Structure 1
């Protein structure tokens, strides 16, 4: 397990989640969930906050869990969330280009956690 990589992914995810919880437009706009003028509906903001908070919580768990089973479980939760995002956002966002970007980002973050979980290496 590459503990340092998992901790970095966790910290980045937690920071992103807290930031998007506070400012959901940071996720809504690149996801194609804003109107033609770039405005994001309040209902969209309300809907995105729990997703962002999930990222904050799972990222914090990954960053802070003790090595061993707790860290493995936190990594698996993060992997499931990222690959789940790829499937769900990839199938539901408004346009093809946005769906592709969302899948790439989600799979990329999930893959980092997979590498961190499965790679042999020096422990932090």
Structure 2
């Protein structure tokens, strides 16, 4: 396990979760979840906040969990969440936004998998 990498992924995820919880447009706009005039509808904001609150919570867990089973479990939750985003959100978004959303979701999952299985150099 490459603990520093997992801690960095966790910290980045937590910061992202906090930012998007406060400003859902940071996720809505690149995902195409805006009104025709480019605004984020209140209902969209309401639906996105729990999603990114999950990122905040899992990110904090990855950044602070003791090395070993707790960190592996937090990372597994992160991977499952990212792959779930790819499987459930990707196909439902408008076509121009799918590749970016899939790349980001699968990319974060892959980075977490690498962190789980990579050996840290001495």
Q: TM-score, normalised on structure 2?
A: 0.97
Distance 1:73 1:53 in 2: 18
Distance 2:108 2:9 in 1: 8
| Corresponding residue for residue 45 of structure 1 | 45
Q: Residues 1-124 of structure 1 correspond to what in structure 2 (within 5 A)?
A: 1-93=1-93, 95-122=94-121
CA-to-aligned-CA distance 1:60-119 (integer Å, 9 cap, x gap): 0001000010000011000000111111111111x1120111000000000000000011
Count of equivalent residues = 122
- Ranges in structure 2 where 5+ consecutive residues have no aligned partner: none
* Displacement after TM superposition at 1:122 (Å): 3.8
- Ranges in structure 1 where 5+ consecutive residues have no aligned partner: none
Distance 2:85 2:77 in 1: 12
Runs of 4+ in 1 over 2 A off after TM superposition: none
Distance 1:88 1:100 in 2: 14
